[in-house]
Amino acid sequence: AAAASGGGAVGDQCGEQTREGGWRLPVPRAAVLRAEAAPTRAPFPLSSNFIADVADQVGPACVSISAVGTSNGYGGGFFGALSGSAGSGVIVDGERGVVVTNAHVVAGAGFGGAPRNVTVQLQDGRTFKGIVVATDQPTDLAVVQLEPDSATAGVGASADAEGKGDGGLGLPSARFGSSAALRVGEFVVALGCPLLLRWSCSAGIVSALERTSAELGLQGSRTAYIQTDAAINQGNSGGPLVNLQGEVVGINALKAAHADGVSFAVPSDTAKAVVSQLLSKGHVSRPYVGIRMFDLTVNALHQLRARDERFPRSVSAGVIVPGVAPGSPADRAGVLPGDVIVEFDGRLCTSAEQVIERLGYRVGEEVSMVVVRAGDVRKEITLVTEEAGATPGEPARNGWRMYRKD
C-alpha cells in the first residue's frame, strides 16, 4: 500500500531524510489530531493577593471566644476558683447568630447547672454574650448562640452595626464547602486568634487527608482529620480552615506538640452533620451495632492461625470481631464472635476505623457486610443500626457505640 501511494506515503510511515544524512521520524497524524482535540485545563484564576482576598472575604465571620467559669475545689474560697478557656470560632448563620467552634474552647464555661456563657468578639470590635447550645466531645465541636440584645459596639463598628432591627442580627457569615472535594496539595487558609493575638491569618496546603484518631493517638476522638502545614497555634482552635473559594472546609482543632507545620482540622462534612444535630436536638445520634473490633494485622493473623486451625485461611486482611453483644443488631443479624469483616458497605474493609467512618451517623439504616468465618465460610450480612444512648446536651457516652448500649 505504501509503494502504490508513492513516496509521500513512505515518508509518512518512515520519516524523511535530513540534509545531514539522518532521519527525522514523523508524528503520526492520529496523534496530532488527538493532541489538537485534547481539552486544556484552564489555569486557576489567582490574583497576586489571593490569600488576602480569602482573608477579606471570610475574616469578618471569624470571632474570638473567651469562656470563664468556676470550679468548686479546695483553695478556691467560697465562690470557687476561676477557670477559663479561649479560642476562635466562625459564624455560620449571621441572621440567627450561630457560631461553630471546638468543644475544648468552651470547656471552661459555666459551672454546675448554671448557663454556659461565653464572650464572643467580632473582627469589627463588637462583643456579644453567647450561650453554649451543645457540645460533642468525640468530634471536639460545639455550637454557640449569640444573644441579640447583648451586643456592645467596639472601635470601628458602624452606628447601625448592632443589628438589623427586624429580628435578624445581620452578621457576616461563612459558608461550608465540601471537605470530600479537597485534594492533597490544595491551598488553604487558617483564620483565628492565636496566642490571644487578634485576627491572624496563615496559609499553607492540605498535607494529607483522612488522618485517623488512632494515627494521632487521640483517645475518645472519632473523626478523621485534615492535615495542613498552615500554622495553627493555641487560640486558633475553633477557627475556620478555608479554601480559595472562601468556603470553610475544616474547623481548626490541634497541632503536633513538638513539630512545626503539622496541624489538623475537623473536616467540614463532619462539622455540617454534627452542627445540624446539635442545633436540632442538642446531641448527636450515633449508630449502635453491638460488636467489638480490632484490625487483623500480620502478627494477629499468624497468632490466630496458630491457635485455631479452623481460622479462615483465605483471609489476609480485615477486621476481626472478638465479641458480639447479646440482643444487639449484629447479634440479631447473625454476626458471630470470630468473624472477620472483609467488606463493609459494599467496599473492601481493612480497619476498624473504616467501619466507623462508613457507619457515620446512620441510625436506623441498613448496612451490609461480608464476613469470613471458621472453615472459610463466606457470608453476606445485613443489619439495621440502632441509636446509641445519649444524654441531652452531651455526646453519646463513650463516643461511637459499637459494643455497649448503656
- Active-site positions read 104, 140, 237
- SS3 call for 378: strand
Nearest alpha carbon to residue 237 among 93, 85, 123, 89? 89
In whole angstroms, give the CA distance from residue 181 to residue 167.
36
In whole angstroms, give the CA distance from residue 240 to residue 248.
6
In whole angstroms, give the CA distance from residue 394 to residue 135.
6
In whole angstroms, give the CA distance from residue 226 to residue 43.
25
For the record, the C-alpha cell of 19 comes out as: 540534509
Torsional class of 163: left (φ above 0), alpha (ψ -120 to 50), beta (otherwise): left
Handedness of CA 385, 390, 393, 397 (dihedral sign): negative
- What lies within 8 Å, CB to CB, of 392 at 6+ separation is 281, 282, 283
In whole angstroms, give the CA distance from residue 310 to residue 342.
17
What are the backbone dihedrals phi and psi of residue 89, each rounded to the nearest 5 degrees, phi first? Answer: -160, 175
- 143 half-sphere exposure, CB direction, 13 A CA radius: 26
The number of angstroms, rounded, from the C-alpha of 161 to the middle of its chain's C-alpha atoms is 33
In whole angstroms, give the CA distance from residue 207 to residue 250.
13
In whole angstroms, give the CA distance from residue 197 to residue 282.
32
In whole angstroms, give the CA distance from residue 249 to residue 272.
10
In whole angstroms, give the CA distance from residue 120 to residue 118.
6
In whole angstroms, give the CA distance from residue 74 to residue 80.
8
In whole angstroms, give the CA distance from residue 67 to residue 110.
8
Which residues on adjacent β-strands are paired with residue 206? 228
